[in-house]
Amino acid sequence: MHPGKAALAVLTVFGTMALDTTRTPFRTEVRILGGAATFASLSACVFTDTSMIAVIGDDMPEENISALKSRGIDTRGIVKVKGGKTFHYDSSFDYNLSNRTTLKTELNVIADFEPVIPDAYARSKYVYLANNDPRQNIKILQLFDAPRLVVCDTIEYWIQTARPEVEKMMGRTDGVVINDSEARLLCGEVNIARCAKKILSLGPQFVVIKKGEHGAVLFDREGQVFPAAAFFLDEIADPTGAGDSFAGGLLGHVARKDRLDFRTMKEAVIYGNVMGSFAVEDFGVKRLLSITKDDVEERYEKYRNLVQF
């Protein structure tokens, strides 16, 4: 790697890195590579130079770090805690792969992480705060010089246990990417247009509400709206990481174009859909480890033809 420009991150992703045990009625995989930051980074790295910040224990197999490196991801920000255990998430899906039941959540090294970033990351232009403790997210943001765009996600757990910090975090970001059910929980509203207004009132310039198999809707402060149907798949292997891969594709496209206009944001939502559709085709991160830029562009065009009328 060239010591100058190439060493500076374009997009930095901070969030969980995990060992997942995922069970479907058809297959079970034990302690495979997972986590919000992992999926988001593996998705974003198809588009732009991507750096990761995460904390792991020394039970994380070295081959998983190698897999990230093999995709060109800068892993200098991954902190290994000696004697620590990696975040472990165990869940099972029902027959329709639409409802997930959490069997075990072991935060382990995640719980006490004090965010640090390599110097080379401080000048990142784009920052994605994948699902994580909002207090850690707020802290880490202070370590960056002046990112052009900061986007965050959150989940039910943080809304339930740290709502004021979730709202404070959103107030310090430019964009929020969030599931419909979590947007409803956060805002106390069923109508997602109203949820979007409430989230925008916290401070961000835009919000993308992810609706799973029903696609996603982008809202901005000027009142612009972009509803996008999901890419249509007959069969999925494992829905884990779809939302994180969506966010990675969205941030990745915005970063490579280095533009924030609404047209770019619309394209970014579609690239998000495309990356989510790849993620669910195989277990864990498997499919994301093999896709190429061409695969992505081909599916983007396929999507365009699909929804065109």
**Residue 233 in contact with residue 215, Cβ under 8 Å?**
no
- Binding segment (CB under 8 A) for a copy of itself, from list 4-12, 186-194, 200-208, 286-294: 186-194
What's the closest the beta carbon of residue 197 comes to a copy of itself, in angstroms? 9
**Residue 210 in contact with residue 178, Cβ under 8 Å?**
yes
3-state SS class at 157: helix
Per-residue binding letters, 81-100, with a copy of itself (x by CB under 8 A)? ---------------x-x--
Pick from 156, 193, 258, 259 the residue near a copy of itself by CB under 8 A.
193
What's the closest the beta carbon of residue 30 comes to a copy of itself, in angstroms? 26
Per-residue binding letters, 194-233, with a copy of itself (x by CB under 8 A)? x----------------x-xxx-x-------xxxxxx-xx
Q: Give CA–CA dist 247/268, Å, rounded.
A: 9
3-state SS class at 33: strand
Tokens 């370590």 identify what position? 143
Pick from 266, 282, 289, 295 the residue near a copy of itself by CB under 8 A.
266
What's the closest the beta carbon of residue 188 comes to a copy of itself, in angstroms? 11
User: φ, ψ for residue 220 (rounded to 5)?
Assistant: -125, 175
User: φ, ψ for residue 278 (rounded to 5)?
Assistant: -70, -45
Task: Provide the terminal-to-terminal Cα distance of the chain, rounded to the nearest Å.
Answer: 46
Interface ranges with a copy of itself (CB under 8 A): 96, 98, 189-194, 211, 213-215, 217, 225-230, 232-234, 263, 266-267, 269-270, 304, 306-307, 309
